[in-house]
Amino acid sequence: MDWGTLQAILGGVNKHSTSIGKIWLTVLFIFRIMILVVAAERVWGDEQQDFVCNTLQPGCRNVCYDHFFPISHIRLWALQLIFVSTPALLVAMHVAYTRHEKKRRFRNGEKIDIEELKNEKIHIRGPLWWTYTSSIFFRIIFEAIFMYVFYYMYDGYQMPRLVKCNAWPCPNTVDCFVSRPTEKTTFTIFMLAVSGICMMLNLAELCYLVIKICMKESRKTT
């Protein structure tokens, strides 16, 4: 999986984020994407090959694996990372649109703050504030949804060592053994913890933005 493209896109968003947003981005890249690519993919690499069932019945192992792992953890995490990063693209699009508008107005002869245009530093104000805030809100929602999906699909966050399978064509209840359950549990809990941290960061950023705008409004009225 090539995460370099995502890094290139999100790197641009980094410039227009708050400090907390930058920390969130760093945590995302180092503690989630990197761990996923470097470590977790190897751990789950042989999950179907080494899923062993105590039966000689052909097809039973396949069916049992499919029954207990409808979608692998790795793929779910990849989806989670993509969904969680996507709202930032909204911000990037808005910033690009704003800049395009400014250039157009400048060309039409209106007086524009040239310094701001040159520096490419766009402050989070007005409609951009709404885009940014809603992007953070959606990030939080997506994180929560995926954390719940993990919990619901795998009955908690622990990987069982033994699963009992009764699906056809298995002739009776068959013992199936998952490969590397302890290591998988370790990484599941690690990724869960980092998701939690990211959610906290997003909540903090949201509070920070809301408080800042409230203080600005109160200063304007007084």
Partner 1 sequence: MGEWSFLGDFLEKVHKHSTVVGKVWLTVLFIFRMLVLGTAAESSWGDEQSDFMCDTQQPGCENVCYDKAFPISHVRFWVLQIIFVSTPSLVYMGHAMHTVRMEEKRKMKEAEIEAREKKNGGDTYYQQKCSVAEKETKLSGWDEAGGQIILRGSLLNTYVYSILIRTAMEVAFIVGQYILYGIFLETLYICQRAPCPHPVNCYVSRPTEKNVFIVFMLAVAVLSLFLSLAELYHLGWKKAKERCSRSYKASPSTAPGRLESAPQAERAQMYTPPPDFNQCLSSPNGKFISPFSNKMASQQNTANFATERVHGQEDAAGEGPFIKSSYVESPEVASECAAPVFPENYFNEKRRFSKASRASSKARSDDLSV
Interface with partner 1 (CB under 8 A), residue from 99, 132, 187, 191: 187
DSSP 8-state symbol, 54: S
| Residues 164, 149 contacting (CB under 8 angstroms) | no
Interface with partner 1 (CB under 8 A), residue from 129, 138, 177, 208: 177
Shortest separation between residue 14's beta carbon and partner 1, angstroms: 6
Asked if 193 touches partner 1 (CB under 8 A), the answer is: no
Asked if 162 touches partner 1 (CB under 8 A), the answer is: yes
Place of tokens 């400090």: 19
Q: Rank residues 86 and 186 by Cβ distance to partner 1 and give the closer one.
A: 186
| Residues 164, 175 contacting (CB under 8 angstroms) | yes
Sorted by sequence, the CB contacts under 8 Å of residue 171 that are 6+ apart come out as 55, 57, 60
Q: Which string of x and - marks every residue 203-222 that binds partner 1 (by CB under 8 A)? A: --------------------
Asked if 24 touches partner 1 (CB under 8 A), the answer is: no
Which residues would be at the binding site for partner 1 (CB under 8 A)? 3-4, 7-8, 11-12, 14, 19, 22-23, 26, 29-31, 33-35, 37-39, 42-43, 46, 49-50, 52-55, 161-162, 175-183, 186-187, 190
